[in-house]
């Protein structure tokens, strides 16, 4: 069975392999190609992708890259740089995805696994979930956009503390700090993440894409630019099929049917 599959309007990817949850580079390549196609899809297409769901294979979401392979590389600089480039080739379209992204975070999310959690829109964790940068533990600095996403989630001072001390975040701390969005019982993580992804996938895909775009750019522009972008986005929504359905449903006092 492929590790990147369609489940209705949800694109589901198993981003790690094995019981320990080592990052699967082959899946990242496949998923990167799938994400690249989303920019050109028609948001109104009922057969299109409306959300992305990331899961792990075993008891952990993802514990990062294969450290033994790092150690065994003949040219570590070239090897690790190549892995980082591949990882970033996946992370950038994930962060810029036109549809919402959800992570089912069971067990550990460490190293690259934490980077992926920080890059998704909604991370669902279990009560025993642990999240850790892990890079300093092997004498590395982070990749996967962690130094860009984490400060935006938790603030600069807290991000410095987490990264410099290699802090382990338990589920309660990750929720309080904004690294994850929801915490449920461990055996409910996957089901809750699936419910969330499917609910988002049935929503107003174009409008949700505009929301994601506005949120992603908000740290890099001034208030005036953001207000102008919001005006453009809401006007486009109002003129589109989703806006028409939403307004009609409101007038008819029923739930909107976007797909």
92 φ, ψ to 5°? -65, -50
pLDDT of residue 3: 85
Report, as ranges of residue numbers, the positions in the chain whose pLDDT lies below 70. Answer: 1-2
pTM: 0.93
pLDDT of residue 1: 47
pLDDT of residue 2: 62
Looking at domain 4-201, its CATH superfamily turns out to be 2-enoyl-CoA Hydratase; Chain A, domain 1 (3.90.226.10)
Which residues does residue 52 pair with via DSSP β-bridges, in sequence order? 11, 101
Order of all β-strands in the sheet with 108-110: 108-110, 130-132, 169-170
pLDDT of residue 47: 86
Q: Contact 133/113 with Cβ under 8 angstroms?
A: no
pLDDT of residue 142: 95
The span from the first CA to the last CA of the chain, in angstroms, equals 28
CATH code of the region 205-251: 1.10.12
- Domain(s) labelled CATH 1.10.12 in the chain stretch across 205-251
């Amino acid at each position: 069975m492929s590790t990147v599959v369609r489940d209705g309007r949800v694109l589901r990817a198993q981003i790690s392999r094995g019981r320990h949850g080592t990052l699967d580079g082959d899946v990242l390549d496949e998923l990167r190609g799938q994400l690249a196609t989303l920019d050109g899809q028609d948001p109104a297409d009922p057969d299109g992708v409306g959300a992305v769901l990331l899961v792990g294979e075993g008891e952990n979401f993802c514990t990062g890259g294969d450290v033994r392979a790092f150690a065994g590389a003949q040219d570590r600089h070239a090897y690790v740089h190549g892995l980082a480039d591949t990882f970033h080739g996946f992370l950038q379209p994930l962060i810029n995805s036109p549809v919402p992204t959800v992570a089912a975070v069971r067990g550990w999310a460490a190293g690259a696994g934490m980077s992926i959690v920080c890059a998704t829109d909604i991370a669902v964790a279990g009560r025993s979930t642990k999240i850790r940068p892990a890079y300093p533990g092997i004498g590395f600095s982070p990749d996967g956009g962690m130094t860009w996403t984490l400060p935006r989630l938790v603030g600069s001072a807290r991000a410095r503390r987490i990264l410099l001390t290699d802090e382990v975040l338990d589920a309660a701390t990750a929720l309080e700090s904004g690294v994850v969005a929801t915490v449920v019982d461990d055996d409910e993580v996957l089901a809750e993440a699936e419910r969330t992804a499917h609910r988002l996938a049935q929503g107003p895909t174009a409008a949700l894409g505009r929301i994601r775009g506005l949120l992603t750019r908000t740290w890099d522009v001034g208030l005036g630019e953001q207000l102008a972008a919001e005006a453009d986005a809401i006007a486009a929504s109002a003129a589109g099929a989703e806006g028409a359905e939403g307004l009609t449903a409101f007038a008819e006092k029923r739930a909107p049917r976007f797909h």
